[in-house]
Amino acid sequence: MVYPISSILLALAVIMSAPVKAVDISEGSRPPDRQVVVRQVTSLPSTFDPLKQTQPEDAPWLQDLFEGLTRVDPQGNILPGVAVSWGSNDNRNWIFTLRKNARWSDGTPVTADDFVHGWQRLAETDTASLYKTYLQQSGVKNAQQVIRGELPPQALGITAIDSTHLKITLARPLAYFPVMTTHPAFYPQKHRNQSGHWWDNGQTQLFNGAWMLSGHSQPHSIDLTPNPYYYNAAGTVLTKVTYIEIKNDPELFRRYALGNVHISAPLKLHQPVNEPFKNQIVSSPRLANWLLVFDQVNGPTTDVRVRKALSWSIDRKAIVASILQNRAIVAWQMTPASTGNFTPQLLSAEQHTVQERITQAKSLLLSAGYGPSRPLSLTFSYRDAGDEPQVVRAIAAMWQKQLHAQIILKPLSPGQPPEPVANVTGATVLAEFNHPAAFLNPLTTGHPQNISKFSNKQYDSLIHRAEQESSDQLRNQDYNQAEHLIAEQVPVAPVYQYATQRLVAPELQGYQEKNPQGLYYSRELWMGLPAE
């Protein structure tokens, strides 16, 4: 049988036959005898069911214990996982070819049926999972109808052609679909005829990643040992990985100083860090923005001149430097520059000085009928946690000083979604996969995450065309045009891109800070010589 792998194949045939490289340990960094790494997390899982977790960055053990069709390299680029190759002739029907030597932790093969079972289980109405939304966004055929209970799970657009070939059918062409398969939502699940929820129990769950659970876990820690059946088990240097629960930074710093932690979870830094820790903090850009969402239905922010004036009068560099202590990156675009498959073009606002933007903002506001004699009055809602209150107060002060605006601040109650309950609302956008579509699709008309209620036919056309475009260059042009439209219409105003800060012990080797998703695999780490 011939399978339709097109010229846009994302994993070259060379990869299929080439051996997977082991960890590259250079001379001078000879690993010590004790190859054990301790990683901090702020909470341990109550279940090892991959569908019951939160954001992958908050559950790093997921990519240690499981592996999907694809994975990512240290820079966030897509690599073969259980699948060695994939392709499509129309960007709608995708064929994935699986490794013949992929194994579960009991030694049985990982098959196409395991992926079918895992995806169908996610779509079932009885499965409570935050990842259902991700399945819908992926465009898999009939996903929405199956999730609603209108169709059986078997109607989902995933079929096992045979044990090593998987066919995915999408509702519409998506050229970037393989990028989405790195997400835990799409991990395989071994189908076993056993009663009870065996996947909730770490002692009965099976794992297909480089690691498996050890039987020596403690109440506040879990131990992982290498999975001997992993297809590249020889490439793992560490003999054990321990995830230890430490809920606050002071306790973390204490244990880190004692050498009891080698790498931390993202730090919640709200003040400068002193030596010797300062030089051991590694910062990495995240695929996440903090932005302002403008109410385009009611009030003064229905006027694009008001929205643009508000955006242009914010001194983003001052906020990042003074409020956030350079723990973030200035943002003007929805799509961060660190996003894969995207080369941003400068927007008009980025080519002006702060004072030039403020002058233009004042002019725009005057043309909209607002000024010292008729001040702009706004309500500004925000999440009362972390850095957000300080950032919001700083922005409000800028608007009051530069635009003579009157601002009423409205903190959101815990758990309250950032729906526009005010003229301006602070919100965080977190990408679930490394692609511009993760940031730009939510602004299309009718998208469930479009809290701005932005609707623009030209924008929708650009995004839909980009979804089907196989050329990286042409797709990048469409996404940049979409960014320029956002800058012109200002349904939202990006202010800064988040960055992740972690403590990383000097002797820990293999950690790559360039991955914008904050994902890194324990099998790529090793302990080098102690720092002198």
Question: What is the tens place of the pLDDT at every residue in 180-195?
Answer: 999 999 999 997 654 4
Contact 172, 159 (CB under 8 A): no
- Residue 457, Cβ density class (10 Å: 0-12 exposed, 13-18 middle, ≥19 buried): exposed
Q: How far apart are CA 230 and CA 481, in angstroms?
A: 44
Q: Is the pLDDT of residue 268 over 70?
A: yes
More reliable by pLDDT, 401 or 21: 401
For every residue of 302-321, DSSP letters joined together read: GSHHHHHHHHHT--HHHIII
d(CA 205, CA 106): 10
- How far is 446 from 496, CA to CA, in rounded Å? 26
Q: Which CATH superfamily is domain 285-500 in?
A: Dipeptide-binding Protein; Domain 3 (3.10.105.10)
**Tell me: the pLDDT tens digits for 272-306?**
666 678 889 998 899 999 999 999 999 999 999 99
Average pLDDT over residues 353-380: 96
Region 37-58 average pLDDT:
83
Question: What are 3-38's pLDDT values in tens digits?
Answer: 333 333 333 333 333 444 445 555 445 566 789 999
pLDDT at residue 516 in the model: 86
HSE-CB at 100 with a 13 A cutoff on CA atoms is: 2
384-405 average pLDDT score: 96
Burial of 425 (0-12, 13-18, 19+ CB in 10 A): buried
Q: What's the pLDDT score for residue 430?
A: 92
CATH 3.90.76.10 fits 13-243+504-527, yes or no: yes
Closest CA to 513 of 522, 498, 501: 501
338-352, 448-462, 482-496, 515-529: which has the minimum mean pLDDT?
Answer: 515-529
Number of C-beta neighbours around residue 90 at 10 A: 12
Give me the mean pLDDT over the 70-84 stretch: 92
Kindly report, as residue ranges, where domains of CATH 3.10.105.10 are found in the chain: 285-500
Residue 279: the pLDDT is: 85
CA torsion, ordered 137, 142, 147, 153, to nearest 10 deg: -130
For 322, which DSSP code?
A: I
Identify the pLDDT of residue 354. 96
- Going by pLDDT thresholds of 50, 70 and 90, the confidence category of residue 163 is very high
pLDDT of amino acid 10:
37
Lowest mean pLDDT among 104-108, 489-493, 500-504: 500-504
β-bridge mates for residue 36, sequence order: 240
Q: What are the tens digits of pLDDT across the range 436-481?
A: 999 999 999 999 889 889 999 999 999 999 999 989 899 999 999 9
First-to-last CA distance in the chain? 59
Q: Please give the pLDDT value at position 278.
A: 81
One-character DSSP codes across 37-71: EEEEESS--S---GGG---GGG-TTHHHH---SEE
- From the centroid of its chain, how far is CA 151? 30
Contact by Cβ (8 Å): 286, 499: yes
- pTM of the predicted protein model: 0.88
Angstrom distance (rounded) from CA 481 to CA 462: 8
Instruction: Say if residue 1's pLDDT is above 50.
Output: no
Kindly state the percentage of the chain with pLDDT values over 70.
Answer: 88
Whether residue 426 contacts residue 381, with contact meaning beta carbons closer than 8 Å, is answered with yes
| Six token digits for residue 424 | 């301006």
pLDDT in tens, 327-353: 999 999 999 999 988 999 999 999 999
Report the chain's mean pLDDT, rounded to a whole number: 89
* Rounded CA Rg of the chain: 24
Statement: residue 532 has pLDDT above 90? no
- Interval 209-216 mean pLDDT: 87
Nearest CA-CA partner of 174 in 406, 460, 470, 432:
470
Confidence at residue 13, expressed as pLDDT on a 0 to 100 scale: 34
Contact between residue 48 and residue 201 where contact means Cβ atoms under 8 Å apart: yes
Identify whether the C-beta of residue 518 lies closer than 8 Å to the C-beta of residue 284. Answer: yes
**Stretch(es) of the chain classified as CATH 3.90.76.10:** 13-243+504-527
* Residues 419, 446 contacting (CB under 8 angstroms): no
